[in-house]
Amino acid sequence: MSRIKCTISYDGSGFAGYQVQPGQRTVQAELEKALASIHKSRPVKTAASGRTDAGVHAMGQVIHFDTDLSIPEEKWPAALNSLLPDDISVLKAERAQPDFHARFSAKEKEYRYRIYFSDVRSPFKHHYACMVRFPLDMEAMEEAAESVLGTHDFTSFCSAKTEVEDKIRTLKEIEFLRKEGELVIRFTGDGFLYNMVRILTGTLLEIGSGKRAPGEMRKILEKRNRIFAGKTAPPQGLYLWKVSYGGTG
């Protein structure tokens, strides 16, 4: 058996999320259907670096699967892409060590949240960015972002539905990338809790709009209670951008 690591990209607009769900169209189900076809109807299970919700996109999601086929690693993208729908693409495939795991071997993840400024919804951006109608105080947002960098208990910034008990994560960087009419917030860390990036973004937007003071960000973190943070930002602005593994993959 060989373990194959794939980097994939997908448009999350038409999916109920990454993970298989009964009766729903999901990224994992489409991938495993394509793999089953290549393996002559034998089921092949995949593991991913993390789950994405309905409407969330990926530029650099990573998965792995085991196979007994002798297909060269460079041939896997073409083989899978010929069977996958247009909203999923396998960008790269490589042979991994037997103990590599797409989720547990990850050392760092990067998410990006895309915002566009407009009074009118754009049909070309509606599924790929969050619309904001008002100008934002970028200095206030940057000040607030600085206060949550480092290793902390991020209970306040994760969904109350999460089943993960250990909520300590290291948030290494929050960067604001501005260009004409748009803002991208880049988050880098050793791992992220369920809805963590979207709740951080929603809270930063409330600070940028003047609804909260920048100093509240640190206080929210210290409360360790979801009810004190801002609204969860919409899913369509979120992208799983990159997963890094160091030398394990």
Binding-site residue positions for substrate: 111
What are the start-end ranges of the H helices in 82-215?
A: 138-146, 196-208
CA 49 – CA 101 distance, rounded (Å) = 8
DSSP state of 233: P
CB 58 within 8 A of CB 8: yes
Rg of the chain in Å (alpha carbons):
19
For β-strands 168-179 and 150-153, DSSP reports them as: antiparallel
**Catalytically annotated residues:** 53
Give the chain's count of helices (H) and strands (E): 5, 10
- Position 96: which residue type? A
User: Helix (H, G, I), strand (E, B), or coil: what is residue 218?
Assistant: helix
CB 33 within 8 A of CB 86: no
Indicate if the alpha-carbon torsion angle 18, 20, 25, 30 is positive or negative: positive
Residue reference for tokens 């058996």: 1
CA 49 – CA 106 distance, rounded (Å) = 7
